Amino acid sequence: QVQLVQSGSELKKPGASVKVSCKTSGYTFSSYAMNWLRQAPGQGLEWMGWINTNTRNPSYAQGFTGRFVFSLDTSVSTAYLQITSLKAEDTAVYYCARRMAAAGTWWFDPWGQGTLVTVSS
Amino acid sequence: SYVLTQPPSVSVAPGQTARITCGGNNIGSKSVHWYQQKPGQAPVVVVYDDSDRPSGIPERFSGSNSGNTATLTISRVEAGDEADYYCQVWASSSDHPIFGGGTKLTVL
């Protein structure tokens, strides 16, 4: 079955960097775009952007440029999210999600289990 | 920018029908997707493209979309349906998804 398995929780100090992995299985990695979403504690879902798994071209949503980097290792069907210069407000659960498409619309299925990144001194 | 409005909470007794709405300007012209998120878990799509159900999702979950309101209907509600529910559309003009604020379903 299709699975997205993310790396474990991280506790980082302000100013540090973190790299979250999203290992996929059960489907052809290059056939679907990979998206990243964030959920701050007690808040809703926020889309961060996506990466084209064919061209490796990333696209970042407003508010997620500069410190956020999406990358791939196609040899192991894995996507990565790196965040640099971490701030307390980056504390959130980060999700990877496969993007599904049909007739001009897109949705996310499935999602990784989420990675909690806590930024605290 | 396009805004999706959901009620913060909906309460229903077991066995009854829950209806969770998602309001947006002419949302009937868009495709709406619904996610269920149980505490501590990742979201799971329960309805996509207005009214289609992924395999494994019970028939008790259904969706409709017309005018300015899309609705997720959960029939014969069970305690295990207690969760946050989010609606989502794709903003074609800006090529990004838009989520509603979420609705907490409480089973009394």
Q: Which of A78, A49, A79 is nearest to A66 (CA)?
A: A49
Q: What is the pLDDT of residues A6-51, one digit of tens each?
A: 999 999 999 999 999 999 999 999 999 999 999 999 999 999 999 9
For the record, the structure tokens of A78 come out as 């894995």
Q: Nearest CA to CA, how far is B108 from chain A (Å)?
A: 22
pLDDT at A91 exceeding the cut of 90: yes
Q: CA A106 to CA B90: how far, in whole Å?
A: 6
Percent of chain B with pLDDT over 90: 94
Q: What is the pLDDT of residues B48-75, one digit of tens each?
A: 999 999 999 999 999 999 999 999 999 9
Q: CA A32 to CA A101: how far, in whole Å?
A: 9
pLDDT of residue B45: 98
- A92 close to A63: Cβ distance less than 8 angstroms: no
Q: Which of B30, B33, B96 sits opposite A47 (nearest CB)?
A: B96
DSSP code per residue over B1-66: ----B--SEEEE-TTS-EEEEEE-TTGGGS--EEEEE-TTS--EEEEBTTTB--TTS-TTEEEEEE
pLDDT of residue A78: 98
pLDDT of residue A66: 94
DSSP classification of residue B81? G
User: Which residue of B lies nearest to A6 if distances are taken between CA atoms?
Assistant: B42
From its phi and psi, is residue B27 left (phi > 0), alpha (psi between -120 and 50) or beta? alpha
Q: Which of B33, B42, B54 sits opposite A111 (nearest CB)?
A: B42
User: Which residue of B lies nearest to A102 if distances are taken between CA atoms?
Assistant: B49
